[in-house]
């Protein structure tokens, strides 16, 4: 089965510092999308950032950016200037053929 | 406001009973999905539908059934055959296949507890 792996069950960062969450995935397809979703305690899933596999340029959204290494099948999320509101579960996901597959998530804590 | 609505938020079921979780969207999305979330397991795909009157099994379809009679609605039935149904269930929709060009939007979830 094709998988998405998040190797860090929990991470912690000091407020205003930078943190990187790791994600690797398995696929035999050339055309797919990658996503990072945030799930706060309310459990509402919120899209953080999206990357098209055919684009070499890394996606950025304000304080959030990705490091997409297609050959290595790696898709890490960097959060700059971390804020208390960034504390949540973060899920990496890969979409293809109508199937959006998620990793097990990384719980991010932000220390004031 | 456009969005995706799941109901109820909390649901209790006795062992041996079937129960149906509702999912409605007014985003005019073609695709809809059901996921199950357990602690430490991430989201696992139960069923998905790309078009009305058609749906496919995901990774953990056993013990579940769905229907897609209308574009707006994608109810999930948890049958008595599901051995461990207590979980958090999330419904999602997207304009097209999320593997091609669009994100999935999620409902707020239904917490099902078997008593």
Looking at residue B115, its pLDDT comes to 86
Q: What is the DSSP string of B51-109?
A: ETTEEEE-TT-TTEEE--SBTTB--EEE-TT-S---EEEEEEEESS-TTTT-PPEE---
Model confidence pLDDT, tens digit, residues A56-107: 899 999 999 999 999 999 999 999 999 999 999 999 999 876 678 899 999 9
Contact B62/B103 with Cβ under 8 angstroms? Answer: no
What are the tokens at B23?
């999912």
Distance from CA of B90 to the nearest CA of A (A): 9
First to last CA, chain A: 40
Taking CB atoms and an 8 Å cutoff, what residues of chain B touch A44?
A: 106, 108-109
Distance from CA of B29 to the nearest CA of A (A): 13
Q: Residue B103 CB: number of other CB atoms within 10 A?
A: 18
CA A81 to chain centre: 17
Q: Residue B40 CB: number of other CB atoms within 10 A?
A: 8
Looking at residue A1, its pLDDT comes to 61
What pLDDT band is residue B7 in, cutting at 50, 70 and 90? very high
Residue A21 confidence (pLDDT) above 90: yes
Looking at residue A30, its pLDDT comes to 79
Looking at residue A8, its pLDDT comes to 96
Model confidence pLDDT, tens digit, residues B9-48: 999 999 889 999 999 999 999 889 999 999 877 899 999 9
Over range B80-97, report the average pLDDT. Answer: 89
Calpha distance B13→A87 (Å, rounded): 33
CA B92 to chain centre: 7
What are the tokens at B107?
């409902």
Model confidence pLDDT, tens digit, residues B52-62: 999 999 989 99
Residue A44 confidence (pLDDT) above 80: yes
CB contact under 8 A, B45 and A101: yes
Looking at residue B95, its pLDDT comes to 81
């Amino acid at each position: 089965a094709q998988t998405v792996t998040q190797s860090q069950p929990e991470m912690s960062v000091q407020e205003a510092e930078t943190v990187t969450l790791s994600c690797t995935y398995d696929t035999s397809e050339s055309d797919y999308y990658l996503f990072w979703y945030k799930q706060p305690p309310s459990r509402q899933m919120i899209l953080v950032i999206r990357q098209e596999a055919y684009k070499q340029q890394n996606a950025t959204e304000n304080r959030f950016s990705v490091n997409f290494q297609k050959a290595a099948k790696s898709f890490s999320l960097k959060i700059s200037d971390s804020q208390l509101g960034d504390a949540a579960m973060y899920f990496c996901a890969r979409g293809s053929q109508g199937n959006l597959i998620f990793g097990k998530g990384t719980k991010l804590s932000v220390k004031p | 406001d456009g969005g995706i609505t799941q109901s109820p938020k909390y649901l209790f079921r006795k062992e041996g009973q079937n129960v149906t979780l509702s999912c409605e969207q007014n985003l005019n999305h073609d695709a809809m999905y059901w996921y199950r979330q357990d602690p430490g397991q991430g989201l696992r795909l139960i069923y998905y539908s790309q078009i009305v009157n058609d749906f496919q099994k995901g990774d953990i379809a056993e013990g579940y059934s769905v229907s897609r009679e209308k574009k707006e609605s994608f109810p999930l039935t948890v049958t008595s055959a599901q051995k461990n149904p207590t979980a958090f269930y999330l419904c999602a929709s997207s304009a097209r296949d999320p593997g091609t060009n669009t994100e999935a939007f999620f409902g707020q979830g239904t917490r099902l507890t078997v008593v």
